[in-house]
């Protein structure tokens, strides 16, 4: 049996944790959809990152937290943490204007962006079939936006920017993982985010009522829980086994958006999202096949 971190792989456990993580992320997005109607993005993220840094300290251990910042690439780690903060802030802002499902329909294109960016930043080779899949996915994003068919406002481009931030962030994660542990990455992410938002949050603060405090705290707990269950998923099984289940976020978004807000995307958006998910799964499967072929010494790119 294959080993992951010295422990036997548990694919079904990993898949269960991944689906749970994606559900928690969509619940987090639903709270953002509600909170952004009443509070600023800065205020929401301040509370979320304060809870996130407490979670990181508890997970790493109070006595080990300071040591987790040791890295040979501090500037790169700081830049990566700032980019993640920008990505979270961008998606949170998107929920002020767009439904949960519409945002996730566009965000589903992130793995395709990662494939394209990996060529530039990581020197990875991408063959014709995967490039065609990437182009089909990007065309589906344009179908969702439908410029010239439906009125396009500036806020329709926010999730596109968020997906781009998230894609660049994932490429940066691949780079730092070559030298730094996941604990180092977690420590920088939590501490930098909390520090920046502590400097910004108080200047755009609106005193919450009891319900507001409850939703803000729930947002922080959901964020910490989503990240933790994602760690559990990747610890139980290889990323190639659990990564396809990232796309369950769109299904969760459809259900939660309908139940919580009475929102449901039109048939064109659902169809385009289905195309993005299908080509994304194809790219993931193709990359897994090529990785296996490379391990067997069969050099081919497609």
Which tens digits make up the pLDDT trace of 20-42?
Answer: 999 999 999 999 999 999 999 99
Distance CA 25, CA 217 (A): 15
Q: What is the 3 state secondary structure string of 111-162?
A: HHHHHHHHHHHCCCCCCHHHHHHHHHHHHHHHHHHCECCECCCHHHHHHHHH
Confidence of residue 11 (pLDDT cuts 50, 70, 90): confident
The domain segmentation of the chain, as residue ranges, is 30-295
Using N-to-C axis directions, what is the helix angle for 11-35 and 74-97, rounded to 10°? 60
CA 181 remoteness from chain centre: 19
3-state secondary structure of 179: coil
3-state secondary structure of 3: strand
The pLDDT tens digits for 192-233 are: 999 999 999 998 899 999 999 999 999 999 999 998 998 888
Structure tokens at 244: 């396809």
- Residue 100's pLDDT is what? 95
Task: Please state, for a pLDDT cut of 90, what percent of the chain lies above it.
Answer: 67
């Amino acid at each position: 049996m294959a080993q992951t971190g010295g422990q036997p792989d548990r694919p079904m456990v990993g898949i269960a944790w991944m689906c749970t993580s994606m559900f928690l992320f969509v619940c987090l997005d639903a709270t953002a959809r509600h909170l952004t109607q009443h509070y600023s993005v800065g205020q929401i993220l301040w509370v979320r990152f304060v809870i996130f840094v407490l979670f990181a300290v508890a997970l790493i251990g109070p006595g080990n937290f300071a040591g987790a910042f040791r890295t040979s690439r501090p500037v790169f780690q700081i830049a990566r943490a700032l980019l993640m903060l920008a990505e979270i802030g961008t998606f949170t802002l998107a929920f002020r204007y767009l439904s949960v499902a519409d945002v996730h329909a566009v965000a589903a294109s992130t793995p395709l962006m990662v494939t394209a960016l990996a060529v530039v930043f990581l020197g990875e080779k991408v063959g014709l079939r995967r490039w065609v899949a990437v182009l089909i996915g990007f065309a589906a994003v344009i179908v969702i936006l439908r410029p010239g068919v439906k009125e396009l406002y500036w806020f329709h481009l926010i999730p596109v920017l968020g997906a781009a931030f998230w894609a660049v962030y994932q490429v940066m994660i691949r780079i730092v993982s070559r030298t730094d542990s996941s604990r180092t990455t977690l420590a920088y992410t939590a501490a930098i985010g909390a520090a920046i938002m502590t400097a910004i949050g108080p200047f755009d603060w609106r005193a919450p009522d009891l319900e507001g405090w409850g939703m803000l705290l729930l947002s922080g707990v959901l964020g910490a829980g989503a990240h933790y269950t994602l760690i559990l998923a990747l610890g139980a099984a290889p990323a190639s086994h659990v990564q396809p289940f990232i796309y369950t976020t769109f299904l969760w978004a459809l259900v939660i958006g309908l139940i919580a807000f009475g929102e449901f995307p039109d048939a064109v958006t659902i169809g385009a999202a289905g195309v993005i998910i299908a080509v994304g799964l194809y790219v993931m499967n193709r990359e897994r096949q090529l990785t296996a072929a490379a391990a067997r010494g069969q050099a081919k790119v497609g």
